[in-house]
Structure 1
Amino acid sequence: MRTAFTEMVGVRHPLVGFSRSPGVVAAVSRAGGLGVFAASPYRPEELDAQLAWIEEQAGGRPYGVDLLVPPATEGGADLLATLRAQIPERHVRFVQELLARYGIEAPDPTRGNGASDDTVRGLSPEGVHEILDVTFAHRVALVANGLGTPPRSMLDGGRAHGVPVASLVGAGKHARAQLDLGVDVLVAQGTEAGGHTGTIATMVLTPEVVDLAGGVPVLAAGGIADGRQMAAALALGASGAWCGSVWLNSHEDVTTPVVKQKLVEATSADTVRSRSRTGKPARQLRSAWHDAWDGQEAPEPLPMQQQLLLAKDAWAEIDRAAETGSPGARELESFFVGQVVGAFGELRSAERITEEIVAGCERRLAELARLLG
């Protein structure tokens, strides 16, 4: 299959595999798609090592990088200390009591656990600049902003290094704003998607963005996990499909076994859009954590950086307890996932998932062509 997107990034199949797991990214690229690596949680030296490993494992095939750049970020030498000081005592107490209710020792809110600090640092202007410097030092085929408007440094860096810049959008007004900036690819992400997402369904959003985009390639995202859904994306006018959740059901994915088992057991109705994990609406597997934050006694989630520090510190303890077999931790456990979670089953390799999606898409397109015969 050849589309404007495959020609732009040099891949055989119009399929993007977005993942925080380097093994997934490399496998998708080896199979002819474009693996895209979630970079924001990593320190610059860690990201450099991960991208070098992906390049080696992908055998030189194209791959990309995605990072989160909120519309407004704060920086400064004392960023983390300042943000932690801004977390209200009520929120700290709520999380501590929630974890205690499920038999988990609560983290010290005045100290970071490493992962939360790295993620928040990666959202700051300094962190974004460092991530982009590392990214453009490698042979990436695409750089994407997964949240908000790409910063000028991303757009300028893309032009300077000949790397297309993509942006995820959840509404027509977002697409228009990104087009005015000069992005090279739009990803129309419907509400079915896992992670940060809006409220418009992929079936409605994709053709709307395609009509606005003119000659700019559009990828459809949200609710795409098999060949039929990829074929539907192409039928809507997209130049390809951007998939994220499906890779959670792969061998290469780094999600903990407890969460993977919960995902396999879930139905498509078991997800929720909630601000309780990142401060912005993000679709994830519903758990006791979300039920508590939806309760009448719960405080409103904080802005993104503070809520990330609060929640990710707590999640480090939840993950640790889950690994030891804590039943309370299992009730709380969750991860970002789309509504396609209901189709999860036996674990497969990421390469096999890629091949089966592409083959299923080709088969369905051929079947549709025969309808015209």
Structure 2
Amino acid sequence: MHTALTELLGVEHPLVGFNRSPAVVAAVTNAGGYGVLAASMYTPAELDAQLHWIDQQVAGRPYGVDLLVPEKFAVSDPDDLVASLRAQIPAEHRAFVDALLDEYEVPVPATAAPEDETSDEIAAAINPAGAEALLDVAFSHPISMVANALGPPPADLVERAHAAGIVVASLVGARKHAERQLAAGVDILVAQGTEAGGHTGTVATTVLTPEVVAIAGDRPVLAAGGIATGDQMAAALALGAAGVWCGSVWLSSEEDITPRAVKEKFLAAGSSDTLRSRTITGKPARQLRSAWHDAWDRPGAPDPLPLPLQPMLVGGMWERVHAASAEGHPGATALDTYFIGQVVGGFSALRPAGDIAREMVSDCTRRLRALGELASS
């Protein structure tokens, strides 16, 4: 398949695979698609190590990175960012999270530190200054695209990327967002419908994609949300997209680093078992419903904090929950969750990411040919 996306990125298939796991990124790229690493999940040092590994695995084939750079950021003391942010977290919220851990009897790891410094560093990086440190690392590797998932990218990010010959992509959840992204000079628009996992709006993919295509001009539009099969990929192309951006489907891959206990919950879930919630990142993000969300819905529960305060509040807690859940602790397993789209209802087994990518492309090709025969009959 040849589209505006495959020509721009120099790939064989118009399939973009977004994931925080370097092995998934490499597998998608090596299958002829385009892997994108969720860079904001790492500290600068961790990101450098992960990108070195990807470089070795893909042997010059193209891949990219994705960052979270919000337009608004809560900070009062730029000289001591982490301390300033932590000071803004109310005691009420700390007490709520601590009480929830006690209620579900989640054990404290023997190696637990008073504060989760790694989570602090990652959360603090979700701002223009922190993102710049990650960009410095990313631009030291042979990436060919950088994507921003939270609003228009800063002008200096676009200028820096273009000066280095790097394509800029941005995710949008509404036509008005796409208009702002086009004005910012992005090269690729990702029309992400509400079905998607992670940060998402309220407009469905089948409605949003043609709206964005209509105003994008010669810039490629990728459809995202509700796409995990070749048939769904073909539907996106039929809507005018130049390709697809897939994230949730890789959570059913063997290479994905999501804890096995959470993956088991994915395999047992239906498409209606997800919800959009601010309780992990501070912004609406689709994830698998669990006892965690039920607790925040109780009368008297505090409102989630804005980004990045909410992830700083709960970051260390999630490491504790994940660790206990992996050991089979029932309370931790009940709380455990992760970002996932409505396609979770189609998960039946864990498979290699490369196999998933190749099957999607093969099934998409077959569906497009069948549609072509239908049109000519």
TM-score range, shorter chain: over 0.9
Which of 299, 307, 310 lines up with 1:296 in the alignment? 299
* 1:85 equivalent in structure 2: 87
Q: Which amino acid aligns with 2:102?
A: A
**1 CA distance for matches of 2:309 and 2:33?**
36
* 2:7 equivalent in structure 1: 7
The root-mean-square deviation of aligned C-alpha atoms, in Å, is 1.5
* 2:153 equivalent in structure 1: 150
Q: Which amino acid aligns with 1:56?
A: Q
* 2:372 equivalent in structure 1: 369
Q: Which amino acid aligns with 1:240?
A: G
**2 CA distance for matches of 1:43 and 1:89?**
27
Q: Alpha-carbon deviations, 1:238-264, whole Å to 9, x = none?
A: 000000000010010001110010000
Secondary structure in 2 matching 1:143: strand
The answer as to 2:254 corresponding to 1:228 is: no
The answer as to 2:183 corresponding to 1:180 is: yes
**2 CA distance for matches of 1:321 and 1:261?**
15
Q: Which amino acid aligns with 2:59?
A: G
**1 CA distance for matches of 2:145 and 2:249?**
21
CA contact (8 A) 1:41 1:115 kept: no
Q: Alpha-carbon deviations, 1:185-235, whole Å to 9, x = none?
A: 000000000000000000000000000111111000000000000000000
Q: CA deviation at 1:304?
A: 0.9
**1 CA distance for matches of 2:41 and 2:78?**
18
Q: CA deviation at 1:324?
A: 2.2
* 1:104 equivalent in structure 2: 106
**2 CA distance for matches of 1:249 and 1:153?**
36
CA contact (8 A) 1:95 1:106 kept: no
Secondary structure in 1 matching 2:179: helix
Of all paired residues, the percent bearing the same amino acid is 58
**1 CA distance for matches of 2:211 and 2:295?**
36
Q: CA deviation at 1:6?
A: 0.5
Which of 266, 269, 294 lines up with 2:272 in the alignment? 269
Q: Which amino acid aligns with 2:345?
A: G
The answer as to 2:31 corresponding to 1:31 is: yes
The answer as to 2:50 corresponding to 1:50 is: yes
Q: CA deviation at 1:111?
A: 4.4
Which of 202, 206, 209 lines up with 1:206 in the alignment? 209
**1 CA distance for matches of 2:190 and 2:240?**
12
CA contact (8 A) 2:40 2:67 kept: yes
Gaps of 5+ in 2: none
**1 CA distance for matches of 2:114 and 2:225?**
36
* 1:242 equivalent in structure 2: 245
* 1:331 equivalent in structure 2: 334
**1 CA distance for matches of 2:13 and 2:221?**
15
Q: CA deviation at 1:110?
A: 10
Q: 306-315 or 237-246, which moves further after superposition?
A: 306-315
Q: 143-152 or 9-18, which moves further after superposition?
A: 143-152
* 2:78 equivalent in structure 1: 76
CA contact (8 A) 2:171 2:191 kept: yes
**2 CA distance for matches of 1:298 and 1:83?**
21
* 1:196 equivalent in structure 2: 199
Q: 238-247 or 82-91, which moves further after superposition?
A: 82-91
Q: CA deviation at 1:119?
A: 1.7
Secondary structure in 1 matching 2:115: coil
* 1:117 equivalent in structure 2: 120
Q: Which amino acid aligns with 1:99?
A: L
Q: CA deviation at 1:120?
A: 1.2
Q: 40-49 or 293-302, which moves further after superposition?
A: 40-49
**2 CA distance for matches of 1:49 and 1:303?**
30
Q: CA deviation at 1:117?
A: 1.1
Q: CA deviation at 1:72?
A: 1.8
Q: Which amino acid aligns with 1:125?
A: P
Q: Alpha-carbon deviations, 1:12-46, whole Å to 9, x = none?
A: 00000000000000000000000000001222222
**1 CA distance for matches of 2:70 and 2:333?**
31
1:259/1:110 CA distance change after superposition, 3 Å = closer
**2 CA distance for matches of 1:217 and 1:246?**
22
**1 CA distance for matches of 2:282 and 2:108?**
20
CA contact (8 A) 2:124 2:308 kept: no
Q: Alpha-carbon deviations, 1:324-360, whole Å to 9, x = none?
A: 2210001000000000000011111010000000001
Q: Which amino acid aligns with 1:247?
A: W
Q: State how many pairs are aligned.
A: 372
Q: Alpha-carbon deviations, 1:262-308, whole Å to 9, x = none?
A: 00000000001000111000000000000111111211111111101
